[in-house]
């Protein structure tokens, strides 16, 4: 009895937060874990983000490593149930920490980490991460900030097995100042990171409404069959649509308001976009998005 109790305690302390990750197969060799369309909380342990993995003959490539060390370790267990193969590369789409704090787990396993230059700038800050401040200590156990092996300036292509991975920064600033997409031409699948949102409102806090719209246009011009965003469940070839309409509507209404000399103090009342009120995170993010977009559009010249 004593040994049963100690085995239980041991496994409990090794796995403090149970993410219950279930890989969803999008096509042959391509899988994702879909997080909930909500904010980070103690209850979800940061599992509000999408992460994906691609199987090749020589190993896995992971796109975004998730919110914690233990998330990554539980994702890895699921991968090993599919095939006993190593994780060779982890690609980080951008520097928001819900997308990459699983890196240290994969680095320990010998994977090479690839990401944008904004990641390098931001990990030099010696302070608690947003995730660390938002989930429990147990959930965060083992999570470390680690350096990249490869920093992508604009484009970077590599092959693993017989699969080619194209990593591209499509515009200077969209969701952040360093957003990478991962495109697999052979499969016509594109991992868009936070350039694509579904099932919830996005945040423009580090981004650009003009750049985001340009990036969405460039994604569509590649004609992917499958598009996976950083948040939300939709993954068809039109997965850019909801976010595109949200931003286009906001841009149009703010530009009209600017023409009518509406000040920044009045703008959030003018651009409420009530058709989105039922969408998750509207109350938290929409007003702020309108302010950020207003500041940008005030200085923006369409013809430039």
Residues that bind Zn ion (CB under 5 A): 96, 194, 230
**Residue 160 CA from chain centroid, whole number:** 23
Minimum CB distance to Zn ion smaller for 55 or for 118:
118
Distance CA 90, CA 66 (A): 11
The minimum distance between CB 93 and Zn ion, in angstroms, equals 8
Distance CA 89, CA 97 (A): 18
Minimum CB distance to Zn ion smaller for 38 or for 164:
38
The minimum distance between CB 153 and Zn ion, in angstroms, equals 22
Q: What's 23's DSSP letter?
A: P
The minimum distance between CB 197 and Zn ion, in angstroms, equals 8
With tokens 């590369």, the residue in question is 89
Q: For 255, phi and psi rounded to 5 degrees?
A: -65, -40
The minimum distance between CB 94 and Zn ion, in angstroms, equals 7
Residue pair 144/69 in contact (Cβ under 8 Å)? The answer is: yes
Minimum CB distance to Zn ion smaller for 179 or for 194:
194
Minimum CB distance to Zn ion smaller for 100 or for 163:
100
Minimum CB distance to Zn ion smaller for 51 or for 253:
51
Rounding to the nearest 10 degrees, give the CA dihedral for residues 164, 170, 176, 181.
-20
The minimum distance between CB 98 and Zn ion, in angstroms, equals 5
Apex CA 199: angle with CA 217 and CA 39, to 5°? 110
């Amino acid at each position: 009895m004593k040994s049963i109790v100690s085995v239980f305690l041991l496994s409990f302390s090794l796995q403090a937060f149970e993410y219950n990750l279930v890989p969803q197969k999008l096509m042959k060799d391509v899988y994702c874990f879909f997080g909930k369309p909500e904010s980070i909380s103690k209850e979800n342990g940061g599992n509000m983000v999408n992460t994906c993995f691609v199987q090749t003959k020589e190993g896995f490539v992971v796109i975004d490593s998730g919110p914690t060390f233990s998330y990554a370790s539980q994702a890895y267990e699921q991968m090993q149930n599919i095939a006993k193969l190593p994780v060779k590369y982890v690609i980080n789409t951008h520097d928001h920490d819900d997308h990459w704090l699983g890196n240290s787990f994969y680095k320990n396993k010998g994977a090479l980490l690839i990401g944008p230059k904004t990641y390098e700038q931001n990990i030099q800050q010696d302070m608690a991460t947003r995730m660390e401040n938002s989930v429990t200590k147990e959930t965060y156990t083992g999570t470390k900030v680690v350096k990249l092996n490869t920093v992508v300036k604009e484009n970077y292509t590599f092959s693993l097995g017989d699969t080619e991975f194209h990593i591209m920064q499509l515009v200077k600033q969209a969701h952040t100042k360093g957003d990478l997409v991962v495109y697999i031409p052979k499969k016509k699948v594109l991992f868009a990171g936070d350039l694509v949102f579904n099932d919830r409102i996005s945040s423009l806090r580090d981004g650009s409404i003009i750049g985001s719209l340009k990036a969405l246009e460039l994604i569509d011009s590649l004609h992917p069959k499958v598009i996976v965003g950083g948040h939300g469940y939709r993954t068809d070839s039109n997965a850019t649509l909801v976010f595109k309409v949200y931003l286009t509507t906001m841009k149009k209404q703010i530009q009209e308001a600017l023409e009518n000399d509406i000040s920044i103090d009045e703008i959030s009342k003018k651009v409420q976009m009530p058709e989105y009120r039922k969408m998750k995170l509207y109350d938290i993010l929409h007003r702020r998005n309108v302010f950020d977009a207003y500041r940008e559009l005030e200085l923006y010249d369409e013809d430039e």
